[in-house]
Structure 1
Amino acid sequence: MLTISEFGRRTGLSHKALRLYDVSGLLPPAQVDPANGYRLYDEEQLERARRISVLRQLDMPLTTIAEVLAGSDEEGLIRLNRWWEAEEATTAARRATLEYLRDRLSRSGTPGLTPRPVLTRDVPETKIATIRCDTDQQSLVGVIVTSTNAIVEHLTAAGAELTSGSWVIYHGAVTPESEATVEMCVPFAGLVDPSGPIAIRVEPAHREAYCTITMDECAYPRIMLAYDLVYDWVRSAGVPVDGPPREVYLPDCHLIPRDQPAVDIALPIERKP
């Protein structure tokens, strides 16, 4: 058995960190002396503690660390890769936001969003797997990537056929200061059961107005200009809105160059007689 000081020295964790991981249930001591309350650790806990230390250096939240360490190493690797992909997507979105602000501050760039057409299309009834959750603007990209990947993995494991890309439905206004419900949707063909947060439902057939943007233009706040473009077109056309707005992503959009068309900003509208 190792004292908390010896255990901390061998793992690079402070007393404060070890007490926090004890309270959170992430790394409780093997024993607690009932007489003096001293924490004692087993040598077999060293590897888990070192992994926690490394993951914390990556700024991984404690709840995510618990998920990574909950199962086998193979399951942990899947969760780690899923989290890191979301982190990289968030970083790319922040970089695009930074470039937008630099452009606006320098006053030397083109308008925030170059002119483009707003088109309409009919979308057939579609079977989808979805995850709903509440998020704010800072966490939005990570939530979209993590949830969409989880849905795709579930569908693939069930032998379903992925029929197109994916989309995100905004059931409220997501801002830097407030959360709202977003719904990540992946269309598929086949028989799949719901699992955990993943639900199965049918998206009704509808008509929608949309414009197409690049991944760089997806960055907040530039993406809001694309929403304005679609909403302005709908108002000028005198067509009633018939559902919440959505972002429709092309298959493997993360592999498309960031300056190429990859995402549709869409708004369901009523069909004209």
Structure 2
Amino acid sequence: MGESLLTIGAFARRSRLSQKALRLYDRLGLLVPAEVDQDSGYRRYAAGQLDDARLIVMLRRLDMPLADVGQVLAAEDRAAVLDAYWARAERRFAGQRQLAGHLSLRLSGKEEAYSMYEIKTRDVPEQIVLTEQRHVRQSELPTWIPAAWRRLNQAAKEHGGQSGYDFVVYFGEVSDDGDGPAEVCVPIASSTGVPEGAAARVEPAHREAYTRVRKADIGQPQMQSAYEAVEQWIGGQGLKIAGACREVACVDDYDAAGPDDEVYDVVFVISA
């Protein structure tokens, strides 16, 4: 005799899921009924599905998105997938905790919070740069920027070689809500001007105000604090921001740098 099936009401009570949630999970393929009546559409579940149903309940208590819940359910090693999710969540929580601390200082008017940053200026001569520009969101930057740099560094070999540090220009907000655009740039030692047939432009000579940030701070709220520190310093000096903000590499080998090594300059182009 086959296994007796539970009505959706009975299954909901035993699994501690609402019938509405069960219908949603069915549509998403997370928890498909063992049987659906073709005429009435009535759902019935096997008792053996209760373990998955209760697992979903607990995963949702972790605020796990349904897409990630599906990955856990589909995995052979569910524990490994859960551990990877939670490691990402803890990194996000740590960043949010730092951001909350930064905002608290900002909202309380404690401007000395920016005194930890040393602001410097420098003059940058005119450069010819190979570029790659696109609309991109924050979550895409860790993949796109290194890939663009590899492509442009390879292309630079055909145009006199690289002549300075890579940098990224942000022409608009890059976040989960804004997509820039952003531009990755690699200076080249071209003796014949802007090369034909390449995505390249002249970067005008300019003056910059900047501060340096550690590798551990990349992608963290400290980056926003660094930007605001430079902006605050510029205003305090009676200067003006004259161009899009940017991040300029300041090490030859980013991969070899340690968490506490300074790897980027947070930069604003300035004018009197």
TM-score normalised by structure 1 residue count: 0.57
Residues 15-60 of structure 1: CA deviation (Å, up to 9, x unaligned): xxxxxxxxxxxxxxxxxxxxxxxxxxxxxxxxxxxxxxxxxxxx9x
Contact 2:114 2:229 (8 Å CA) reproduced: no
Partner of 2:176, secondary structure, is coil
User: SS at 1:163's partner residue?
Assistant: coil
TM-fit CA distance, 1:95: 8.2
Q: Write out per-residue CA displacement over residues 179-221 of structure 1, whole angstroms, 9 at most, x where no aligned residue.
A: 11000000111367455xx511110000010000111112233
| 2:116 aligned partner, one-letter code | P
Q: How does 1:123-134 map to 2 (within 5 A)?
A: 123-134=124-135
Instruction: Describe the shift of the 1:94–1:209 C-alpha distance in structure 2 as closer, same or farther (beyond 3 A).
Output: farther
Gap regions ≥5 residues in structure 1? 1-58, 60-92
Count of residues in correspondence between the two structures: 175
Counterpart of 2:184 in structure 1 is 184
- Give the match for residue 43 of structure 2: none
Q: Could you tell me whether the CA contact under 8 Å between 1:127 and 1:189 is conserved in 2?
A: yes
Q: Match for 1:150: what amino acid?
A: R
1:252 offset after TM fit, Å? 2.0
State the match for 2:117 in structure 1: 116
Change (3 A) 1:241 1:113: closer
Q: Which amino acid aligns with 2:247?
A: E
Shift of 1:131: 0.4
Aligned pair in 2 of structure 1 residues 212, 172: CA closer, same or farther (>3 Å)? same
- The reply on whether 1:226 has 2:235 as its aligned counterpart is no
Could you say what the CA RMSD is over the residues aligned between the two structures, in angstroms? 3.1
- 105 and 267 in structure 1: CA distance in 2 versus 1, 3 angstrom threshold: closer
Runs (4 or more) in structure 1 with deviation over 3 Å come to: 93-106, 111-114, 191-195
Q: Distance in 2 between matches of 1:113 and 1:219?
A: 18
Q: 1:98, CA displacement in angstroms?
A: 5.3
Whether the 8 Å contact between 2:129 and 2:187 is mirrored in structure 1 is yes
Tell me, yes or no, if the aligned pair for 2:168 and 2:247 is still in contact at 8 Å. Answer: yes
Distance 1:97 1:151, change over 3 A: farther
Aligned amino acid, residue 203 of structure 2: E
Q: CA deviation at 1:141?
A: 1.8
Aligned to 1:252: 253
Which amino acid in the other structure matches residue 176 of structure 1?
Answer: D
2:255 is paired with a residue of what secondary structure? helix
Paired position in structure 2 for 1:151: 152
For residues 94 and 125 of structure 1, do their structure 2 counterparts lie closer, same or farther at Cα, with a shift above 3 Å needed? farther
| Displacement of 1:94 | 9.1
Superposition pairs of residues 131-210 of structure 1, within 5 angstroms? 131-156=132-157, 158=158, 160-190=160-190, 193=195, 199-210=199-210
Structure 1 SS opposite 2:258:
coil
Q: Distance in 2 between matches of 1:94 and 1:238?
A: 42
Who is 2:3 aligned against?
none
Q: Can you list the C-alpha shifts for 1:130-180, whole angstroms capped at 9, x where unaligned?
A: 000000111112111111111111122x16321122000000011112211
Query: What pairs with 1:59-98 in structure 2 (closer than 5 Å)?
Result: none
Letter in 1 for 2:148: S
Deviations 1:74-120 (A, max 9, x none): xxxxxxxxxxxxxxxxxxx99865544466789xxxx9987021111
Report the alpha carbon displacement of residue 258 of structure 1 after superposing the two structures with TM: 2.0
| Alpha-carbon distance change, 257 to 206 in structure 1, aligned in 2, over 3 angstroms | same
Question: Rg: which structure is higher?
Answer: 2
Q: Report the equivalent of 1:83.
A: none
Task: State the percentage of identical aligned residues.
Answer: 27
Cα distance in 2 for residues equivalent to 1:248 and 1:176: 22
Q: Is the 8 A contact 1:96 1:216 kept in 2?
A: no
